Amino acid sequence: MDFTHELNSRQLEAVMNTKGPALVIAGAGSGKTRVLTYRIAQLLSQGVPAYRILALTFTNKAAREMQHRIAALVGETQAANLWMGTFHSIFGKILRLEAPLLGYTPDFTIYDAQDSKNMIKQIMKELQLDDKIYNPNAVQGRISMAKNMLVTPDAYARSADIQLADKMAKKPLIHEIYRYYATRCKKNNVMDFDDLLLQTNILFRDFPDTLEKYQRKFEYILVDEYQDTNYSQYLIIKKLAALNRNICVVGDDAQSIYSFRGARIENILNFKNDYPEYSLYKLEQNYRSTVTIVGTANSVIAHNEEQIPKELFSRNEEGEKIKVIRALTDREEGVQVVNEIYRLAQNEHQDYSHFAILYRTNAQSRLFEEALRKQNIPYRIYGGTSFYQRKEVKDLLAYLRLAVNQDDEESLRRVINYPRRGIGETTVEQLRHAARAHDSTLWHALSNVESLHDCLSPGTIRKLEPFKTLIESFAEMTKTESAYHVVHRVVTASGIVTDLETDNTPEGISRKENIQEFLNAVKAFSETAYKENREDKLAPFLAEIALLTDQDNDQSNDLPKVTLMTVHSAKGLEFPTVCVVGLEETLFPSIRSSHSSSELAEERRLFYVALTRAEKRLILSHATTRYHNGEIISPPPSRFLQEIHPRYIETPAPRRGAPRHQTIARPRVTMPVKRAEVPEINTAELQPAAPEAIVPGVVVYHPSFGTGQVISIEGLGDNRKAKIDFPQHDIKVLLLKFAKLFTEKA
């Protein structure tokens, strides 16, 4: 297979050398998907069986795109036999094959984030915990982080550092919630997203024969976006590659922006340590952007110290210089940016779909939405409520999941009285108590409802029986019928359609359309499964949609619209014109990163990602005053603007009587940010502060910085750090292991 006319010399080198460990550093727009695609095609042309190649991506969209390209090169049959997909879909597939080893059945349910949160709320209710203290989102995040660090409930409870951190955060019972949550999931035959990685690690740890089976099976391993892998993913990949060591990872350390999700930039930076015999390939030619945009991005990212050296270049046109909009207020910023989009669209006859507005936080969208509406410019918010998170779709999904897995308690609770059948919360609680008393599930209690005559009335039992019979009939259908026929039956027999027919409001009509669209999705799944000779049953369909990512859920229509999104959501996308807005200190970079070199480096990488989304034109904007928590503040322009080389920035036409400026000057701050009042401390009566006494809200004294108040604590053990507001010296982040802090004597 000859690729010489379709790849540049660096790409060709990365494609042809298939043996041993390989690190492909793929700069923005440098054709990494092409390299992965052709490398797999090269392996297949060398006679490597498709089923011996494992290719891991972060979105189904990326996997589908690669599979289509490979099919065009080597044929659909070979492409279909590849083990290619997202981490969660591939490891979910392995877990279904090996489920009995871990005490699950192959038809386990996969919970999304909302399902998981609902179960956590229910457990907290049973434990009588205050949800104002134990915020469900925070608890869910804590459990998720523990799982991604491979910390099981028992290990969590045994860790003195973790228990101390939870105690200081006034949440000492998270370990109890975690334990109940894990037990409930196992009993209900349920895994959440994090379990798909955690349980795979446990599988390979506890069953070495199974690990060896997959090590021998996957002779070649390819990983996309390696800089975004977390610790759990890293360990699985390392274990699978240990035997053959034919591992190729592709990524860009300059685009590592997901540390808040557990991603570790160290994984790509330390690849050379894990595989000393590795080969390094750098893809540095950018095919997406103009010379000016690439130069702008290079000049910014050069300020990061810890990175793999590379110099992105472009052979495209020079392109326009970068336009910087400086508005007086945040509202005026929205108006000016939208006016610029309107002007360009009209003068250059561009579709509105060619424009994207990128911001650091979702809350910034409001003012741009207002300005777009006033100009009658259509827009869409990227990353809004996905199709499969809409209520009517979630209701239908609950019925379908129950048909496959009757022990799925969250689904049973959701639909046992929807549509209304006179089964109240009191009845559900009585069933729950019966289930707990017999250490069983809600379905088991429901299946033995005749034994509950002492706590349920005959009338209630008569209402429960038809529901039980209905679910059993659906379960029976799943054994023989296609996914489409089962879903069609559930939609009609459950009463969902009848319930929606009574609502003729625009919202009600939309809900009915969503159910119809769901049926269309099932039909498409069945047709694809038939073409690819796959099983078109309900269980595989549910597994497929449970693993959809945000990008896979995009339901926008074809009407040209301006796209609004956070920079995090924009990764992997590109637009002819990109507007990066809100470029001010405390906003972008975020105030949370201002005093941490590693967090500031990630903010700079995030800005780099924003810049490299643009193909032809970049517009950057900031405001000199902005509302923040009801107060007007005057933040200086972002340091990132200062880091752009002046030769790439458009010099504005001078105003009458005003001098021309070659660089962006920071405006004088006229209205300081409102700071919290720090209580006085008696420095005559001080004692060294015990580490466990340093918690948010405590007033401390530092010999160099004076009196300050602790804002937050992060890290564990020797890595514990305190963010402290010292009014005389601004906010500081101090490593408690070395900080000389004092408090007043008790």
C-alpha 427: how far from chain center:
37
What does DSSP say about strands 706-714 and 699-702: parallel, antiparallel, or unpaired? antiparallel
Beta-carbon contacts of 217 under 8 Å, excluding residues fewer than 6 positions away, are 51, 52
Instruction: Round to whole Å and give the CA distance between 62 and 33.
Output: 8
Among left, alpha and beta (phi > 0; psi -120 to 50; other), residue 498 is alpha
Q: Please state, as a whole number, how many other Cβ atoms lie within 10 Å of the Cβ of residue 519.
A: 14
Backbone Cα Rg of the chain: 28
Q: Let me know: does 22 contact 42? Beta carbons within 8 Å.
A: no
Provide the token pair at 168: 């200081």
Catalytic annotation present for 187: no
**CA distances to 63, 224, 270, 319, 415 from 411, in Å:** 30, 34, 43, 54, 7
Of residues 112, 225, 407, 408, which has the active-site annotation?
225
Burial (CB < 10 A; 0-12, 13-18, 19+), residue 175, is: buried
Catalytic annotation present for 255: yes
Look up residue 433 and give its amino acid: H
- DSSP run (H or E) holding 201: helix 193-206
- Name the DSSP letter for residue 253: G
Of residues 10, 11, 32, 59, which has the active-site annotation?
32
Q: Is 625 helix (H, G, I), strand (E, B) or coil?
A: strand
Burial (CB < 10 A; 0-12, 13-18, 19+), residue 696, is: middle
Of residues 98, 195, 224, 340, which has the active-site annotation?
224
The shares of helix, strand and coil residues in the chain, as percent rounded to the nearest 5, are 50, 15, 35
Q: Is 326 helix (H, G, I), strand (E, B) or coil?
A: strand
- Cα Dmax for the chain: 91
Of residues 613, 616, 626, 720, which has the active-site annotation?
613
Provide the token pair at 453: 């005559």
Of residues 140, 199, 255, 307, which has the active-site annotation?
255
Catalytic annotation present for 224: yes
Q: Is 208 helix (H, G, I), strand (E, B) or coil?
A: helix
Q: Return the beta strands (E) in 236-394 as ranges.
A: 247-251, 279-283, 285-286, 313-314, 323-329, 355-359, 379-381
Q: Let me know: does 520 contact 504? Beta carbons within 8 Å.
A: no
Catalytic annotation present for 33: yes
Burial (CB < 10 A; 0-12, 13-18, 19+), residue 679, is: exposed
Of residues 13, 18, 33, 187, which has the active-site annotation?
33
H helices present in 349-481, as ranges = 365-374, 391-404, 409-415, 425-437, 442-447, 458-478
In angstroms, the first-to-last Cα distance of the chain is 78
- Name the DSSP letter for residue 89: H
C-alpha 313: how far from chain center:
30
Q: Which of 357, 318, 359 is nearest to 575 (CA)?
A: 357
Instruction: Round to whole Å and give the CA distance between 721 and 736.
Output: 5
Burial (CB < 10 A; 0-12, 13-18, 19+), residue 139, is: buried
Instruction: Round to whole Å and give the CA distance between 209 and 231.
Output: 23
Q: Let me know: does 255 contact 608? Beta carbons within 8 Å.
A: yes
Instruction: Give the DSSP per-residue string, 430-449.
Output: HHHHHHHHTT--HHHHHHTG
Q: Which residues are catalytic?
A: 32-33, 224-225, 255, 613
